[in-house]
Amino acid sequence: MIDAARPADVHLPRSLIALFPGAPRRIAARGATVAELIEDLDSLIPGLRNRLLDAGPSIRAHINVFVGGERAALETPVPPGAVVHVIPAVSGGSVVRRG
Amino acid sequence: MSTRIALLVGTPKGAFILDGDAARRDWSLRGPLCEGWPVHDISLEPGSGALLAAAGSPWYGPAVWRSEDLGQTWTHSSEGLTYGDDGPKIKTVWNVTATDDTIYAGVEPAGLFRSRDRGATWEHVAGLTNHPTRLEWQPGNGGLILHSIVPHRTDRERVWVGISAVGAFETRDGGATWETRNKGVRAGFAPDPYPEFGQCVHKMVMAADGGEHLYQQNHCGVYRSGDGGRNWEEITTGLPSEFGFPMAAHPQDPKTIWTIPLNGADRGRFMPDASAAVWRTNDGGDSWIRSGEGLPEQAAFVGVLREAMAVDRLDPVGVYFGTSTGQVYGSADEGRTWAMVADNLPPVWSVEAAVLD
């Protein structure tokens, strides 16, 4: 059930908001789970869902979501007023192309 | 307005644009663009002149980027660029090719997508993925990638694609069904050197006359076809190596193409004898001409990847290529003499030449 009174306090990384001109680093969003929260974020910042989620759906391999400081999955509950951080993993910067 | 050239350069650290004058002598560099995303290919949308960049971020996934102001601002989308929640995850976009009304995107793992709304949303061309051979497709060294997309110039129902270590396919019904197009192409690494599929096409291009004349640089040789890929004839004789990646076709002369042989798949993949050269045929591959004037003559341990060569449509035609070590070279005389256009870029993955009138 979405708590309409107390949205989560979502912190987004610079490299993500750079893809959406005008998007804020910090945004209030609603959802009872991380999955619902990302759907709400997508309504606020169209296209954001595709940047965070892969097929499955699953959180992309090199994206970490923390709820209240704890590593979260899509089904993780988001308590009212929770602080949520979306952080690119340090494992994600390598680009290998052979040929 | 005077004619200008823009070289669109894709790299693992973003897109770059080299703005040049009509003489093709003076160049200035812009970038990195696309927020530093790895960009495999950049192309121009006919009519609108929009730039399209095939990209994939290690964090944020695949997307096709679009700029309608020559790279000043960009949007991006991957809406619909998926095999579905139960399908394989798409790593990146390797090629983007636009016609008057459709944009095609080739992705890894190999598949074809198209957009009919200028890249806002994408539709899986499932007919190719459903080909009976699909379960036997194996990745090449660069992955299981669909990289060459060759739309017919006038028949919108016909498109050819090339997939590394799988081969070439053609649809004649707008993507509903596909047929292999590998007859006569060697797979020297396979027990059967002429299988129906499994050939490692590296780059496929259409000759200037459009329609039925195709060329391809393969892992195992260079080939031409006069019947839309139903039969291929090897034209490697005269080249220093059968191995290479890029190929470019002359925009007016159907018998002129350029390629850049590398010394071999298992020999380091740099230019033969570490002496840089581009090879040109003016007779459809019956004979080849080496051109190295202006390029490093020795100690050039550089490679050139499949999308990293391009031609413009000026007279004489300009030819350009980018190297695995971050140089871009250009020729304003159809590949006879060369000059450095840029240095110290990231490894160059793709080069496209846009003529801006």
Residue A88 and residue B88: Cβ atoms within 8 Å? no
Residue of A nearest to B142 (CA): A98
* A51·B58 Cβ contact <8 A: no
Q: Does the distance separating the beta carbons of B58 and A55 come in below 8 Å? A: no
Structure tokens given for B135: 């379960």
Question: Whose CA is closest to B278, among B235, B237, B309, B236?
Answer: B309
CA B318 to chain centre: 17
A97 within domain boundaries? no
Decide if A49 touches B, using CB distance below 8 A.
no
- Taking contacts as CB-CB distances below 8 angstroms, the residues of chain B near A21 are 73
- A54 vs B: CB within 8 A: yes
Please indicate, yes or no, if residue A2 is contained in any of the structural domains.
no
* Cβ–Cβ under 8 Å, residues B21 and B28: no
Residue A1 within a domain: no
Per-residue pLDDT of chain B (357 residues; tens, 9 = 90+): 578 899 999 999 999 999 999 899 999 999 999 999 999 999 999 999 999 999 999 999 999 999 999 999 999 999 999 999 999 999 999 999 999 999 999 999 999 999 999 999 999 999 999 999 999 999 988 899 999 999 999 999 999 999 999 999 999 999 999 999 999 999 999 999 999 999 999 999 999 998 899 999 999 999 999 999 999 999 999 999 999 999 999 999 999 999 999 999 999 999 999 999 999 999 999 999 999 999 999 999 999 999 999 999 999 999 999 999 999 999 999 999 999 999 999 999 999 999 987
* Cβ–Cβ contact B79 with A under 8 A: yes
Domain that holds residue A33: 8-91
> Would you say residue A79 lies in a domain?
yes
3-class state of residue B231 by DSSP: coil
The answer, for A69 touching chain B at a CB cutoff of 8 Å, is no
Predicted ipTM? 0.92
Among candidates A98, A58, A51, which has minimal Cα distance to A75? Answer: A58
With CB atoms and an 8 Å threshold, state whether A55 touches B85.
yes
**For the domain that residue A44 is a member of, what is the CATH number?**
3.10.20.30
Cβ within 8 Å, pair B58-A15: no
Q: Residue B90 and residue A88: Cβ atoms within 8 Å?
A: no
| Domain-embedded: residue A96 | no
A77 inside domain:
yes
Residue A44, in any domain of the structure: yes
Nearest to A51 among B12, B60, B269 (CB): B60
Domain count, chain A: 1
Does the global pTM surpass 0.90?
yes
In a domain, A3, yes or no: no
